[in-house]
Amino acid sequence: MTTYDSTNIFAKILRGEIPCHKIHEDHHTLAFMDVMPMTEGHCLVVPKAPSRGLLDADAAELSHVITAVQKVAKAAVAATGADGFQIRQYNEPAGGQTVFHLHFHILPMKDGVPLKPHTGQMADHGELAKMAEKIRTHLTK
């Protein structure tokens, strides 16, 4: 496993160098819309502490991250009227990871609606902003 690269896109988002459609932020985590969504409401939760993946993450930080994942997943499911959801987390190229900052995908799912392929095409930013707002309205304190 290689070391953490502070020039990855999520590190840049965390530093405010690249904008995002923010859903939730606390001292330890940031949640935002995936710009190439595979399903309606597809969002990401990242720790603010630098870690490449699950194996090099601080265990105490992970507890904060999974709490945020649960909170955002509840809100995303409510906002989209999903019948269920998936949580995906990839590690290293062989495991499907393409951005080397620990992150969790939240994929709200509806019965009979397949996931879209990850094509590399960005979604409409106006639609992403609307969905981020909709999810935020369902966040619990």
Active-site positions read: 103
With beta carbons less than 8 A apart as the criterion, state whether 116 and 124 touch: no
Contacts of 70 (CB under 8 A, 6+ apart): none
Rounded alpha-carbon distances, angstroms, from residue 30 to 2, 61, 79, 95: 24, 12, 18, 23
With beta carbons less than 8 A apart as the criterion, state whether 79 and 39 touch: no
Helices vs strands, H then E, count in the chain: 3, 5
